Structures are given as structure tokens and as C-alpha cells.
Amino acid sequence: MTNSRSATPRKLVVVGHGMVGHRLVEALDSRDTDRQWEITVLAEEHRPAYDRVALSSCFDGADESALRLPEHDPERIDLRLGDPVTALDRDANAVLTASGERVPYDALVLATGSRPFVPPLPGSTAPGCLVYRTLDDIDAIRAAAEESATGRGVVVGGGLLGLEAANALRLLGLTTHVVEMAPHLMAVQLDTGGGALLGRMVGELGVAVHTGTGTQQVLTDPETGAVTGVELSDGTLLETDLVVFAAGVRPRDELAREAGLQVGERGGVVVDESCRSVTDPAVWAVGEVACIEGRTLGLVAPGYAMAETVADRLLGGAAGFPGADTATQLKLLGVGVASFGDAHATTPGALEVVLNDPVAATYGKLVVSDDAKTLLGGILVGDTSGYPLLRPLVGSALPADPSVLLAPQSEGAASGVGVAGLPDTAQICSCHAVTKGALTEAITEQGCADVPALKSCTKAGTGCGSCVPALKQLLEAAGVEQSTALCEHFDHSRAELFEIVAATGVTTFSQLVAEHGRGRGCDVCKPAVAAILASRDSGTHILDGERGGLQDTNDRHLANMQRNGTYSVVPRVPGGEITPAKLIVLGEVARDFGLYTKITGGQRIDLLGARLEQLPAIWRRLTDAGFESGHAYGKAVRTVKSCVGSTWCRYGVQDSVGLAIELELRYRGLRAPHKLKAGVSGCARECAEARSKDFGIIATEQGWNLYVGGNGGFTPRHAELLASDLDHETLVRTIDRFLMFYIRTADRLQRTAAWLESLEGGLDHLRAVVMDDSLGICAELDAAMERHVADYHDEWRGVLEDPAKLARFTSFVNAPETPDPAISFAVEREQPVPVPGPVSLGMPVLPAAEGTSAR
């Protein structure tokens, strides 16, 4: 290959359009400025490339559009979907497709990936036996789960895909079993200690784990042939009508075999370091179908590295495959898992340093050289916060004692260990093979001054995102001062603007931006300032006057907008306690307005599917029944969850329900930088999950323990103990001050966990401020909370009593009663669900409702 431009572009055919095939095309197209290649992609699936790694997010609300990878330029790339290659004619340099077309090539890249391995067991092909690999598989699993008569599902395989599949079945409401032949889960990535902890944590989530046993056969009904159960090799019988095989994959190398290309002992097209077939110089292979260095690789990062290598070679470069980075960091059923380098200590003389804390549910192991000077690999389970620092260190000299590196990341940083101390050759981003040196160059020589700039310049952080914390550390180490300005309209941080509002008495955004900022504001500063004003003056309705125009979509309509343009209705149910009469009202409202109903994790009932013009009518009935806004749409206190406490539970030592109701009513409507959730548990058994909340209370024999700074979400954190055995009065006063200090000093959209981590002095400083009054501001914090409690009013009742506010709730200004024709519903499990596009076969569409209600 040469770099000179050909008079006639050469023809490249890419067989397969998965993640690696997509990456190859993207890399080649971006570099082929001379247009040396005409690119044709022949894909088996009828949909363009999508993020297969994120398949499980489909069960958490994501749809196909959220997974889809960036589209290719149709003027440059001839993408043919649903027309797979059926044969290779190497003599004529052409491929034959299923549609009968013959496509010539000068270079051919096989990116056909792999197929799920289904063990040849009796009954394994019966209806009800599925695999977990594609979006079509996801649809099939969802449909089978909905039709399941047993309500049980069995996953064969306890590796990465197996646990992803188990989580999918769990989210679909099935009782789930995982069967793994190895002695522990994720045997490829984890050792016995890490696998044992993972198995325990997965079991605590309600998934039954069967390790050290195989699957003997799938039992079927002799008349219908449908699945009825699974028999394990130890004789255990599991009743089920749904079996998902996730027992590994096999390279899809059939085309190569039939064409006479050399394949590896365990499959895959044998290629050299350039990813070119050792049999035919016109054929290349990338991803899971390539056998390189004697093995096939089932991870995305090595596949991307192969794609980059081939793109470079096709344009005359000399790139070689850099080696397989099999490091993995992910969450499986909410449990953090990371594995990197020589995790199993196969290097001769390797030593293992292990920190196993079953109480804290964390396991860490570092594998080091025989002289304990070089890091070779490691395993992390439970707490994977150290992964961004540890993985780049593999192969490098240890900057500190291994036991220090296994400590929580904040402690390691305090010991002088950080990303800045890594060698320039250390790879920070494994998804895109970006080194520390490349990032440092982007900062110092190309002027990248923030994380978005680094992402754009180097692609680091645009894959799995696990390296983003390291990017921030490198910016700080390079002396790049990170601006604290709220946005381009204010030079001040949110905390500084809060102090300005408090000191000056400013009550409007226009006054604040005129006196302390510039321009007209934006969708960053307007909602932030609106929240500051609301927290300072809760007696003024958030939709009054100018404030109404500052709110985002959810606050503007006092409801959460859903994916199909409808809204949710979430009345407050303090502490989760509700009377039968109010339950009946909720059921009647849901029935009369055709709403989908779901009990939330915060012990409330969510009514989904309300059109904008229906909201006032729905809330009029709810407020008449004594309900008020649950603020599920706002950056405010959402819920205070509780167990039944000493009132009912034989283990309860305090009245957790009574305290939860008191606190939820006290803090209802409190506007904050981010949403706030709380919990009260009546004993140490922690049934209200108080330690995963922004503030949580656990009863003791002497009083209450107060925990702060926890959260669920993308990065779950346990709350930390602020104070023990508090009496009721001290507890409430301490929570008051904690919340007001957070509202006063936190950054925009900063949760309490992140705020506490960034707070200089951390938990000790917070304790000194709110309990010892070290800053002399406790009187101000107490007064601020008392103003909030005294001024509280229900936002929805305020809307219903004001015709001007009611005018906001129309889909069409010229036809207020007309429903949005783009909104339609189907029926699943006897409830209405949104239809984003064409109606699926077999799902009846509910007719558009007349007026303001639908049945």
C-alpha cells in the first residue's frame, strides 16, 4: 500500500457492522483525506451499528436510539443492512451476498464477530431457550419473560454476559438462577476470593447462584416441547420456562473456513501483527473473528486496537497490533468489578497482596513482581474507585507500597500516589489506547483546558468513561485552573451567587444578571438561580412572574416529562404510609385517566402517561383527596423512606415511620442543588436502606445514628456516620443545618456525596460546622430552615388556584383541549405503555382519549 492518491479509488469491503466494524470504517474515513478507498459495508442485521456492551441498559429504560453508534457519511460509505455475505470468491476478489449481488474488492475486512455458544444438551433447542447477544435477542427475552407462567428464569453461564443476562431477567421481574460450572462467578476475570465475594453480593440481590455444577439437560413438555425446567449435574431440578444461554462465544469464521483461510485451533481467522490474514494478503480480520497471537479476544478494546491498526495499514502505514488490553471495569447487578493485567498471577515468581474486607464487602488484590517493585495486575470487587490509577500502572514501577495502593483512592492520593506520577507510556484510556503522554501533550501543547476539550482532541473518556477522573487529575497536575464560574453569564460559582442573593436581597434573575453578570442568561444559570431564589424564599410560588420562565421543562410543568412526551404524577406519600381511602383515590385517578401505575423505590405510587392538558384535572382530584406534590420533578427533597419500625416489627427499637413522616413533611418542597433522598430504619437491619441516601437515620437503643452523603445512581456511595445516639431534638436540628449548609455551599447539580468529597476537611469539617458551630453560622442555618417550614405551600394547589398558571398546561395554544396526536399507547401486562414509533405486532393501540380523561 502507498500513500499516493490513486486515479481510481480502490474498493474496500467490510463484512459486518458491529462495534469493531463500525470503528474500522470510522477510523479509515476520518484519515482517508485523499479518498483512496471506496468503502462498502455488508451487514447481517437490519439495524446499523449499536453499543452491544450496553445491551442491559435496554432493561433500564434505554431504547435502540440511545445505543446507536454515530452514523457514517452516506456519500462516503455504502452501508447495506440486512444483506449478509454468504460466500467469498478469493480467486476473483469478490463476495456474494444473500440478495445474490456480487461485490468486488481490492481489500476485504472480516468483522463478523462471534456467535453465542449453546452447549449441545438435550432440550437446548426447545422453545424457551434463548441467547443474549443482540437487540433482537433482547426483544425475544422480554417477550418470553412477559409470557412466563412460572415467573422464573435460568441463565447458563456465570461470566460477564451471564451476569448481564441475569440482571436483565431480574429487572423483568423473574426469579433468577445462574448456573456456572467453574467454582465461582467470572472465573476468567476473578480469582477465588473475588469470585466468592461477587457471588455473595449477587445472592443478596435475590439471584440464586449455583457454582461448581453444570447443566445436565433442559427439561421439556413431551406434548408441546416447551421448556419446563433445568436439571443440573448435581441432580438439582430448577423449574422454569425460560433458559438463557450465556456460556461463551465462538468466532463466526464460517466464511473463512469455506474459503480456505487458515483458522486457529479454537477458531478465528489467523492473522499477523497487522491483522492481515496469513493465507491471503487481500483479506484482513478484526475483532472476535480474528485469531491473533494464537487466541481470539472477546473484548471491545482489543477489537478497536485491531480496527485502528488495519485503518493505518490500508493507508500505507506500518502500525502493528499493540497487544491485548484485557482490563475490565464494569458493574454487574450493581456490584463494581475490575480486573486488569496478570490478575491470576501466572508470571513466574509473582507475589499477591490481598485486602479482603467481607464486612465492607470489598476485595482487592494486586499482583506484583518477585521483587515487589513492578505491578503486574490486579482484581477489585465492591470498590473499584482505584481502577483508573492502578490499571495504567501495570508494567511500571510501583510508586508506593502495594497495601497503600489497595487502600481507598482518597487515602492513596493522600499518600502521594496519583495519575500525575505515572510514566508517559502509561495507557490512561484503554478504549481508545490514549497514553498519559498524549493527554499531557494535548493539555500543554494543544491548549486543552477542560475534560470536554480533552475528549474532543484525544477521544479519551468517550468510551466507557472510567478514565474521566484521571483526565481531571492530569489537568490539575498540569496547573490548568478549572473555572468555577457557573456559566458564561456569571463569573461566580453557584455558592458565591447564593451568598450574593443572601447579602443583597435580590429576588429576581433579571436583577441578579444585571448587577452581577452579563447577557440574558442560559439554560444553565437560569434554573440554578431559580433554585437559589426558591431556597431563599419558599413563600413565593416557583411559577410566579419572572420565575416561571427560569424553570426547566419538568419544573415548568410540575411533572417529569417521559420519553413519549407525556408526564408523570407522583403525589407525596410521607414515610410510605397511606390510608386505604387514599389508595382508592389513586386507583380511581389512574383508571379514569388511563395512566400506568408503578410503585417506586421511594415508597410512592407513580402514575405515568398523563398528557400536559390532563395534569390540572388529575391534580385537582388528588388535592381534593388530601394529596400534595411529591416534587418528583424538582431538585428538592423527594422522599423519606422507612421500614415499619417498632410499631410492627419485632426487631424495631424506634418509631421509624413516625420520624420519616415528620422529616418528610418538614423538608417537603426544599429546593437544593440536586435532588435529595432520605431513609429511616427502625433497627440495624436497615430495611429502609438509609445508608444509601443523602441523609439516613438508623435507630439505636439510645436514640438515632445520622449518616450523610450517600446516593444510588451511576456511582453509588454509602453514607458516612456524622453522629451517633442523637436524641430527637438534636437529630432534627443537625439535619436542618446539614441541609442548609449543603444548599448554601454546593455546586450546581452536585449531589451531597460529591459535595462532601469536595468539601475541604470532609466529614470532620462538616461535623465541626453543623454540630460545634465552628463558622458561627448555625443561627443563620436554623433560621433559614424555620423560614422554609413556615412558608411552605403546595405548588400544585397554587397552580389550581391561579388561572394564569393554569394557562401553561396546554399542548396547543389554539386548541387547549386537543390531545397531542403524536402520543399513542399500547397495552402490556394490562397497563398502558408508550409507543415511540409504529405499533408492535400484537399490541393493541389505545384510542386517543376524549376531553381530559381516558379509560
Q: Which of 417, 447, 471 is the last residue of a domain?
A: 417
501/509 Cα distance (integer angstroms): 10
Same domain, 737 and 649: yes
Is residue 821 pLDDT above 70, yes or no? Answer: no
Assess if residue 788 is contained within a domain: no
Average pLDDT over residues 347-370: 89
Report the phi/psi class of residue 665: left, alpha or beta, with left for phi > 0 and alpha for psi in -120 to 50: alpha
Which band of pLDDT confidence, cut at 50, 70 and 90, is reported for residue 838?
A: very low
Exposure string for 355-384, b = 16+ CB within 10 A, e = fewer: beeeeebbbbbbbbbeeeebbbbbbbbbbb
Show the cell assigned to 425. Answer: 507510556
Structural domain harbouring 527? 494-516+523-554
For position 411, what pLDDT does the model report?
37
The three-class DSSP label of residue 238 is strand
Is residue 464 pLDDT above 70, yes or no? Answer: no
Same domain, 135 and 281: no
Which band of pLDDT confidence, cut at 50, 70 and 90, is reported for residue 752?
A: very high
Residue with the bigger pLDDT between 672 and 810: it is 672
Lowest model confidence (mean pLDDT) among 37-51, 370-384, 767-781, 810-824: 810-824
Q: Helices marked H in 463-612 — which ranges?
A: 468-477, 494-504, 509-516, 525-536, 553-557, 580-592
Q: What is the pTM of this model?
A: 0.55
Is residue 90 pLDDT above 80, yes or no? Answer: yes
Query: Which one-letter amino acid corresponds to residue 416?
Result: G
197/337 Cα distance (integer angstroms): 10
Show the cell assigned to 270. Answer: 489467523
CATH at 734: 3.30.413.10
Same domain, 689 and 745: yes
CATH at 445: 1.10.10.1100
Same domain, 473 and 378: no
Contact 274, 321 (CB under 8 A): yes
Give the highest mean pLDDT range of 186-190, 287-291, 408-412. Answer: 287-291
For the segment 394-434, what is each residue's pLDDT rounded down to a tens digit?
Answer: 887 787 778 777 865 433 333 445 677 677 777 787 667 78
Is residue 279 pLDDT above 70, yes or no? Answer: yes
For position 153, what pLDDT does the model report?
93
For position 816, what pLDDT does the model report?
53
Assess if residue 53 is contained within a domain: yes
How crowded is residue 147: how many other Cβ atoms within 10 Å of its Cβ? 10
For position 853, what pLDDT does the model report?
31
Which band of pLDDT confidence, cut at 50, 70 and 90, is reported for residue 627?
A: very high
For position 712, what pLDDT does the model report?
77
Which residues, 6 or more positions from 222, have their beta carbon under 8 angstroms from its beta carbon?
Answer: none
The count of structural domains within the chain is: 7
The secondary structure of 472-515 as a DSSP string is HHHHHHTT-PPP--SBTTBSS-HHHHHHHHHHH----HHHHHHH
351/101 Cα distance (integer angstroms): 58
Q: Which of 247, 266, 289 is the last residue of a domain?
A: 247
For position 403, what pLDDT does the model report?
79
Same domain, 648 and 733: yes
Same domain, 722 and 665: yes
CATH at 287: 3.50.50.60
Residue with the bigger pLDDT between 815 and 169: it is 169
Contact 12, 28 (CB under 8 A): yes
CATH at 370: 3.30.390.30
Report the phi/psi class of residue 287: left, alpha or beta, with left for phi > 0 and alpha for psi in -120 to 50: left
For the segment 765-802, what is each residue's pLDDT rounded down to a tens digit?
Answer: 999 999 999 999 999 999 999 999 999 989 999 999 98
Bridge partners of 249? 116
Residue with the bigger pLDDT between 813 and 260: it is 260
296/616 Cα distance (integer angstroms): 59
Average pLDDT over residues 123-141: 91
Judging by DSSP bridges, how do beta strands 283-285 and 107-110 pair with one another?
A: parallel
Assess if residue 156 is contained within a domain: yes
Q: For residue 376, what is the DSSP state?
A: E
Same domain, 237 and 271: no
The three-class DSSP label of residue 152 is strand
CA 797 to chain centre: 36
Q: For residue 292, what is the DSSP state?
A: B
Bridge partners of 379? 339, 365
Is residue 839 pLDDT above 60, yes or no? Answer: no
Lowest model confidence (mean pLDDT) among 55-64, 539-548, 693-702: 55-64
Assess if residue 787 is contained within a domain: no
How crowded is residue 627: how many other Cβ atoms within 10 Å of its Cβ? 23
Same domain, 629 and 546: no
Lowest model confidence (mean pLDDT) among 111-115, 275-279, 502-506: 502-506
Q: Which of 269, 284, 314 is the last residue of a domain?
A: 314
Assess if residue 207 is contained within a domain: yes
Same domain, 646 and 738: yes
Is residue 850 pLDDT above 70, yes or no? Answer: no
Proportion of the chain above pLDDT 70, given as a percent: 92
For the segment 196-212, what is each residue's pLDDT rounded down to a tens digit?
Answer: 999 988 888 888 999 99
Same domain, 657 and 767: yes
How crowded is residue 212: how many other Cβ atoms within 10 Å of its Cβ? 11
Is residue 293 pLDDT above 80, yes or no? Answer: yes
Is residue 804 pLDDT above 90, yes or no? Answer: no
Is residue 159 pLDDT above 50, yes or no? Answer: yes
Proportion of the chain above pLDDT 90, given as a percent: 46
For position 40, what pLDDT does the model report?
95
Which band of pLDDT confidence, cut at 50, 70 and 90, is reported for residue 665?
A: very high
Assess if residue 179 is contained within a domain: yes
95/13 Cα distance (integer angstroms): 9
Same domain, 294 and 341: no
* Distance set, CA 15 to CA 22, 83, 253, 533 (Å): 11, 10, 11, 58
Residue whose C-alpha is closest to residue 739's, from 662, 792, 676, 787 = 676
Bridge partners of 537? none
For position 41, what pLDDT does the model report?
95
Assess if residue 257 is contained within a domain: yes
Same domain, 45 and 144: no
For position 852, what pLDDT does the model report?
32
Assess if residue 489 is contained within a domain: no
